Amino acid sequence: MPVVEHSSLPAFQRLHSEGVAVGQAESGLPDLRIGLLNLMPDAALAATDRQFVRLVSGFEDQANLYVHPFTLAAWSRGDEAQDYVAENYLTFSEVKDHSLDALIITGANPAHFELSDEPFWPGLTEVIDWGEESVLSTLCSCLATHAVLEHKGLLKRSKLDSKRWGVYEHARLDADHPLLDGVDSSVEAPHSHWFDMTRTDLEGVGVNVLLESNEAGVHMATSEDGFRYVFFQGHPEYDDISLLKEYKREVGRYLAGEREFPVFPDHYFDDEAREVLSRFKELVVGGESPEFPEHEVTRRRKPAWVTQGQAIYSNWLAEVLRRARS
């Protein structure tokens, strides 16, 4: 069934124009309500909404699926982002009144080594505690995974020597888990993170690892019961150009004197794109100011990770619906 277009959220209109199933509620069907806590920075709010609504749009069961985005009120944002939130988001108080069935918490751009030093930490932990008592399942993306496990006193993340980013293949470690029903034996997904929790770390505190890469580590895991928490370190929600945009931002940081010139994301650019970007780097390092060749290197295929991510999310939503009806 389509995601219900119940507000003016730009993600609904954008996805509808792309042919994604977004429409009106159908009478006689049960409602399934999912909260989406968006922790991403101002510039990424709308794109993140669209990415996660796209993932849940693969749900094929008989239900009216509502997605209710919200963010943290105490977190300072710019004027434009505040207007976007005011127009399109619920407040946390309103979310509490909507009888949510499940919750998705996005990742965030970390600014501090310690999670507890992040400005969103108090508000995030309040949502985690509320979700523990109020929804059937919480699905966590990247930093949210680390936050839940740290807040529950189970595990703290470790900082990697270098940023792990690229597109990686992951093997299924639990072929019979219902969240992987119908999912390929090898699952492609992007990663982009400086902090990590390893399979050994996670299994040591009772977490069930479902998908792991020899190169990138854990992509997906669950709490010991297999459903209460669903954890991701990879990013099945990413657009095909998300890593390209991130690479461009890293080049901008180099130009601002904040870092060295970035290395390519693993297994992402093809040979032609690498050649174009290598020529661009030579010019930049040589003191010239060429325009970033974004249109020359943009990939133009639907990434496999979106379809695979939709299958996993659909399995998750089907179990949420089953438990909500029982």
The kind and range of the H/E element at 305 are helix 304-325
Q: Which of 160, 224, 248 is nearest to 198 (CA)?
A: 160
237 a catalytic residue: yes
Catalytic site residue from 118, 142, 191, 319: 142
16 a catalytic residue: no
CA distance 209 to 218: 7
Q: Are 201 and 155 in contact (CB under 8 A)?
A: yes
8 sits in the region (left: phi over 0; alpha: psi -120 to 50; else beta) called alpha
112 a catalytic residue: no
Catalytic site residue from 235, 246, 250, 319: 235
Catalytic site residue from 118, 188, 237, 250: 237
Q: What's the burial of 234, exposed, middle or buried (CB within 10 Å: 0-12/13-18/19+)? A: buried
* Concatenated DSSP letters of 22-62: EE---TTSPEEEEEEE--S-GGGHHHHHHHHHHHHTT--SS
Residues assigned a catalytic role: 142, 235, 237
